[in-house]
A = this chain, B = another copy of it.
Amino acid sequence: MKEISNEQLFIHVVESGSFKKAAELLAMDPSLVSRRISSLEKRLAVKLLQRSTKNSFPTEVGEQYFVELQKLLEEQNALENRIKATVNEATGHLKVAAPHDFGTFFISDILENMVEHYPQLTVELVLGSQFENLAAEGIDVAVRIGKLPDSSLICRRIGEVPRVLVASPEYIAQQGEPRSVRELEQHKFVFYKRSQMYEAVTIAGQRLHLSGSFVVNSVSAIRQWVLNGKGIHLGPVWAFRDALDTGALQRVLPEVELESFPLHAIYVSRAYVPAKVRLFIDLLSSTLSGNHFQRV
C-alpha cells in the first residue's frame, strides 16, 4: 500500500465518488479507507462525506473542504517536487572559497560557465579566505591546494597541481645556473606566503634551506618578481607556463622531478550533496585535466 495522508485520501474518495473505488484505485482495503476518513472527520469534528450504498458524496462542508484542500495539497506537492529537483538541477546560490590566485585564474571561469548553463543559479566566490567554518560562513565548497587540516568535513581529492622551478634568463645570466639540487641553497628565492625568509623544503629527497628576500601571498606578485630577476621560484606550472613558452622565464633543473601539490574540494555533507556542488566539482575536475595542469 502506498503511504498517503488522510487528507489526500479524502480527496481521492471525493474524486472517485466512493470509498470502494478509491480503495481499488489505491490498492487499499475498503475498511482502511473507511477508518481513515472517519478519523479525519473525528479530528475536524465535522461530517465530510454523506455515505450511501451506491456512492458517497461530500456534505456541504466536505465540498468546501475538498475544493480548498485540493488546491493546497497540490501546491504542497509542487513545492516538494521543486525541493526534490534541487538534487538534480543546479539551482540556488553557490558560494565557493578558493585560494586567491587559483580562484582568480580558474574558479571564476567555472562559475561563469555554470551560471550561463543554469540561469537559476547565482554564484559567489570568496578568494583567499581561511574558511575556518564552512557552514557558518555559508560556503558550499572550498578549494584547497596543499596539505589539509584535520577536520570533520568531507574532502575529495580532485587532482594535483604540478610544480616547476623557474627563473628569468637575466637572473640566470647574473647568478649562473644551478647544476644540482644542492646548489639551489646558494641561490636567491622568491617565496609564497611564508613569513620566514628561510624556507625548509624537500626537493628530490633532499632537504634544503632556501633563502631569499621576497615573500608575498600573491602568485601574481611572485610572477612579477621572478620576471624581474629577483630570484628562483618553486611554483605551480599554470602560473608560469605562458612565460616559459615565450621565453620570458626559463626552467631551472628541468630534469628534477618535483612533487605536485594535491588539490581538494572540501564540503560539508556526504549524504546530500546538492547538484550545484556536484556540478562544480565535476567542472573543476575537468579543468584540472586541461592544458594548464599538465607537467611541463
A contacts, CB < 8 Å to B: 41, 44-47, 50, 52, 60-61, 64-65, 68-69, 72, 75-76, 79-80, 83-84, 86-87, 91-93, 135, 268-269, 271-272, 274
Give bound CA distance, A60 to B82, whole Å.
13
Give bound CA distance, A45 to B47, whole Å.
37
How many protomers of this protein does the assembly include?
A: 2
Inter-chain pairs besides A44-B84, A60-B274, A69-B79, 10 sampled, C-beta below 8 Å: A45-B91, A46-B86, A46-B87, A46-B274, A47-B271, A47-B272, A50-B135, A61-B86, A72-B75, A72-B76
Contacts of A80 in B (CB 8 A): 44
Partner of A272, one of B46, B65, B75, B269: B46
Partner of A268, one of B45, B50, B76, B92: B50
Partner of A45, one of B41, B60, B64, B272: B272
Give bound CA distance, A75 to B76, whole Å.
11
Contacts of A47 in B (CB 8 A): 269, 271-272
Give bound CA distance, A47 to B271, whole Å.
8
Contacts of A64 in B (CB 8 A): 83, 92
A79 x B84 contact (CB < 8 A): no
B79 x A65 contact (CB < 8 A): yes
Give bound CA distance, A47 to B68, whole Å.
30
A68 x B79 contact (CB < 8 A): yes
Give bound CA distance, A47 to B72, whole Å.
24
B61 x A274 contact (CB < 8 A): yes
B91 x A135 contact (CB < 8 A): no
A37 to B: closest C-beta gap in Å: 13
Contacts of A61 in B (CB 8 A): 83, 86, 92, 274
A158 to B: closest C-beta gap in Å: 22
Contacts of A86 in B (CB 8 A): 46, 61
Give 8 closest A-B pairs by Cβ, nearest first. A47-B272, A60-B92, A61-B86, A50-B135, A68-B79, A72-B76, A65-B83, A44-B83
A93 to B: closest C-beta gap in Å: 6
Contacts of A135 in B (CB 8 A): 50, 52
Give bound CA distance, A93 to B61, whole Å.
10
Q: Which residue of B lies closest to A80 (CB)?
A: B44
Q: Which residue of B lies closest to A95 (CB)?
A: B60
